[in-house]
Amino acid sequence: MKFFVDTADVDAIAELNELGFADGVTTNPSLILKSGRDILEVTKEICAMIDGPVSAEVVALKADDMIAEGRKLAKIADNIAVKVPLTWDGLKACKVLSGEGKMVNVTLCFSASQALLAAKAGATFVSPFIGRLDDINIDGLDLIEEIRTIYDNYAFKTEVLAASIRSVNHVSECAKIGSDVVTAPPEVLKKLAQHALTDKGLAAFMKDWEKTGQNIL
Ligand code: G3P
Give residue-wise pLDDT tens across range 124-154.
999 999 999 999 999 999 999 999 999 999 9
Percent of the chain beyond pLDDT 70? Answer: 100
Report pLDDT for 172.
98
Residue 131 belongs to some domain of the structure: yes
Residue 107 belongs to some domain of the structure: yes
Is the C-beta atom of 134 inside 6 A of ligand 1?
A: no
Residue 91 belongs to some domain of the structure: yes
Residue 177 belongs to some domain of the structure: yes
Report the number of distinct structural domains present in the chain.
1
Q: In angstroms, what is the span from residue 34 Cα to ligand 1's centroid? A: 12
Residue 52 belongs to some domain of the structure: yes
Minimal-distance CA residue to ligand 1 atom 3: 164
Catalytic residues: 83
Q: Which of 104, 80, 111 has its CA nearest to residue 159?
A: 104
Q: What's 114's domain CATH number?
A: 3.20.20.70
Residue 152 belongs to some domain of the structure: yes
Q: Which of 5, 35, 108, 132, when mutated, tests ligand 1's pocket best, judged by the most ligand atoms within 8 Å of its CB?
A: 132
Residue 1's Cα: distance from chain center in Å? 11
Domain that holds residue 70: 2-212
Give residue-wise pLDDT tens across range 166-204.
999 999 999 999 999 999 999 999 999 999 999 999 999
Q: In angstroms, what is the span from residue 165 Cα to ligand 1's centroid? A: 7
**CB under 8 Å to 206, separation ≥6 — which residues?**
none
Residue 217 belongs to some domain of the structure: no
Residue 18 belongs to some domain of the structure: yes
SS3 sequence, 18-45?
HCCCCCEEECCHHHHHHHCCCHHHHHHH
Q: What mean pLDDT do residues 48-69 have?
A: 98
What is the bridge-based pairing of β-strands 24-26 and 54-57?
Answer: parallel
Give residue-wise pLDDT tens across range 24-56.
999 999 999 999 999 999 999 999 999 999 999
Percent of the chain beyond pLDDT 90? Answer: 100
Report pLDDT for 34.
98
Q: pLDDT grade, residue 95 (50/70/90)?
A: very high
Is the C-beta atom of 27 inside 6 A of ligand 1?
A: no
